[in-house]
Structure 1
Amino acid sequence: MIKEIFILRSIGCLSIVLLHSIHIGIETMTIREMGELAAIFFDSIQMILYYGTPMFIFISEFLIAYSYRTRPLPDYFLKKRLRYILIPFFVMGILYALPFFFQGMEQGFTKIALNIFIGDYHGYFILIIFQFYLFHYLFHSYLKRWKPQLVLTIAFIINAGYLMFFNFTLPPENLPYGTYIWERFYWVPMLGWVFYFAVGYYAGTYYEMFSKLIYKYRYIIIIGPVITSMLMLTFYHSGFLTVHSSKRTDILVHTIMCSFFLFYLTSRLKHLPPFLELISRYSFGIYLLHYIYIFFLDAMFQLQPVSIGFMYIIVLFFFSLFASIGTIIIVNKWKYGYLIIGQVGVPFQPAKKPASQNVK
């Protein structure tokens, strides 16, 4: 097991829960109640945390490429991921659509269809991941033969060009559902994420070389996230690039720098922090469930509102995080609980050092 991936997965998960807590928290408390400076601060933190979702593309492909770099993909490769990842995506898509039935049966079933087929809820990420599972399954033999520098360059150009098109253009007036496509649906096609896949593939395939490069360029990697964060915030607050999601063009470099930084930082640790190991193991279920508890607590809060300023964000974060973990533990006591919220990851087990041999 690679402890760096445990850290990346847990930090990515915590980042997603926090940025969603900030999003709802700012909407509920309003700038007046929170304070203008606090609102700007948390809005900026949310912008920086958008690396969370694309980092999971890197993590997912890294693990697959590393695991199967010296052996063929098993016959159950797609079947296993269908059972443990795609089915929970369908189940949660239905669950998140249930409140829409209060608006009418048609609205409820429409929302279910949107959630399942085009990812019209935060679980859209699963549809992206599955596109890359299929891509890896079909083309991994070609990727091994192609030059990494060429593939990475082409992937970056495609990814950046795709995001720039939607970031800096407006939908044609006569295009059906054009506004929805420009605001939401362009998130789903793999073209908007292919660079993270390519980096993850070659980092996992050439893990030893990748680790050496991380150490060699450690000073650039340490300062990298600071520079990319400053640039993102400058572009955002100046009005140059106002897209408020992880589908920004500049997030490409920011995500990679944050991923490499966390990878290097973790490589220096002798032991994996228990709390981060726990979050990593429960990360998939947390990802699926946390918004339910954010919405629930926010609805309860608005029935009996209390002005607590930015502390509301902290309350949303910890409540949704630990309520999700508790739910995962309870649901997985049922034999088929994994069909609802996926499997709990196995505990981290450091590689065993070979026993020394006494020479007589």
Structure 2
Amino acid sequence: MMKEKIEEVYFIRAIACLCVVFIHSLTLTQSNYQLPATTVNVIFLTKLMIMFATPLFVMLSEFLLSYSYSNRIPKGFWKKRVSYIFIPFLFIALLYTIDTWFIKDWGMERFVEVYFNKAVLGLWHGYFVLIIFQFYVLHVLFVKYAHHFKATWLIIISFVINGAYLSFFNFFGPGDFPEIDLLWKYSKLPFLGWILYFTVAFYAGKHINVFKEGLQRYKHYIYVGVLANIALLLCVEKFDLIRLVSSKRPDLLLYTILIFSMLFLFAQKLRKIPSFFMIISKYSYSIYLLHLLVMYNLIRFLKDLPMYINMGVYTILLFIAGIGGSLLISYLLNLLPFGAFLVGKLKKSGAKDKRYDKQRTNEGYAPSSY
């Protein structure tokens, strides 16, 4: 039986994508301007409060996968994901390597080393793809074995493991354990640092109706929880407990899940998801991977201009270019017969899909699982 579209996911994915681009716009602006301490603090807190962006992407991946395939693994499961997710990941990592290669005039040995670091070790912002593929393996295992365990206990265990893992790498540094120094460099890659998002998303997608009912029943607690977690983030910053602005922080675990729930509730109130968010969602994978490449080249162009650009204008230019440039590149490459293998597969929208009315259901629709 065909399943209904979860229109709310389009909205959440778009918000996550926009937040990722905005975070990097702020970071690059900060690195190119001498800013007063007050402005730096505002940027720090702004980025911290929207640092749920990458975890949301990771969470959405499993949520949709579990909704679509909670009891079985379809034929061609791995082929589809390797073709349209992993191969584009490798190609775009290559684009970043080539871009820097031209600027720094590396030799071939250095070129291969940098590409290996990106494609295999995940030392770039596209690392989340490597986490998602670990989630695919976990999903196969959960489909086979999760029914042997109570969901509540698996979520609690996941929370403890995830919290302990992130706390270790946030409250201790490589200098504390020189013999395992390299672990800090690659600590973001193992699924242990993201396992709570996976487990919650698995059960939320698998039991979608129970999840939706729970959101309505506890919506006031969700809103209060979001505010309480923002207060917690401010306290952590005030007392200088964690200075790293990163999505790999223990104080973002519950915050991200609450944000996911709040955005889901907000999207439910919309009669239809605005076209802008639908477009951003459609191109989100390409935007996420390509936006920094566009920004880097825009920065080089802006540095050659003889005029001063206001910091706010600079940030907006980077943000718009990151979104628009990535979208344009993805659209043009998808016109090629093999374009989907370069930047990911875009969904085809028929004429009757253009309004994205939440009340409709489409036969044959399969949610995106990235």
Is residue 241 of structure 1 aligned with residue 242 of structure 2?
yes
* 1:12-91 map, 5 Å: 12-31=16-35, 35-69=36-70, 72-91=72-91
**Alignment-mate amino acid for residue 225 of structure 1:** V
Report the number of matched residues.
348
**Alignment-mate amino acid for residue 269 of structure 2:** R
1:94 and 1:112 in contact (8 A); partners too: yes
Shift of 1:155: 0.4
Report the equivalent of 1:6: 10
Shift of 1:226: 2.3
**Alignment-mate amino acid for residue 329 of structure 1:** Y
**Alignment-mate amino acid for residue 149 of structure 1:** T
Report the equivalent of 1:318: 320
Which of these residues, 115, 118, 123, is aligned with residue 118 of structure 2? 115
Is residue 129 of structure 1 aligned with residue 129 of structure 2?
no
* 1:257-296 map, 5 Å: 257-296=258-297
Q: Distance in 2 between matches of 1:352 and 1:49?
A: 32
1:4 and 1:266 in contact (8 A); partners too: yes
2:271 and 2:357 in contact (8 A); partners too: no
Q: Distance in 2 between matches of 1:64 and 1:97?
A: 31
2:56 and 2:260 in contact (8 A); partners too: yes
TM-score of the superposition, structure 2-length normalised? 0.89
**Alignment-mate amino acid for residue 221 of structure 1:** I
Structure 1 pair 216–323 and aligned structure 2 pair: CA distance change class (3 A)? same
Q: Distance in 2 between matches of 1:307 and 1:234?
A: 34
Shift of 1:138: 2.8
Partner of 1:323: helix, strand, or coil?
helix
List gaps (5 residues or longer) in structure 2: 350-355, 363-370
Shift of 1:118: 0.8
1:51 and 1:255 in contact (8 A); partners too: yes
* C-alpha RMSD over aligned residues: 1.9
Report the equivalent of 1:232: 233
Partner of 2:250: helix, strand, or coil?
coil
TM-score of the superposition, structure 1-length normalised? 0.92
Q: Distance in 1 between matches of 2:260 and 2:207?
A: 16
Shift of 1:108: 1.4
Report the equivalent of 1:163: 166
**Alignment-mate amino acid for residue 162 of structure 2:** N
Q: Distance in 2 between matches of 1:146 and 1:85?
A: 31
Q: Distance in 1 between matches of 2:238 and 2:325?
A: 34
What is the percent sequence identity of the aligned residues? 32
Shift of 1:172: 4.7
Q: Deviations over 1:203-234 (max 9, x none)?
A: 00111011011011111112322221221132
Shift of 1:72: 2.0
Shift of 1:301: 1.8
* 1:136-285 map, 5 Å: 136-172=139-175, 175=178, 178=181, 180-182=182-184, 184-285=185-286
1:15 and 1:52 in contact (8 A); partners too: yes
2:166 and 2:250 in contact (8 A); partners too: yes
Report the equivalent of 1:357: none
Q: Distance in 2 between matches of 1:281 and 1:28?
A: 31
Which of these residues, 335, 338, 350, is aligned with residue 336 of structure 1? 338
2:19 and 2:53 in contact (8 A); partners too: yes
Q: Distance in 2 between matches of 1:353 and 1:10?
A: 20
1:167 and 1:248 in contact (8 A); partners too: yes
2:273 and 2:358 in contact (8 A); partners too: no
Q: Distance in 1 between matches of 2:177 and 2:147?
A: 43
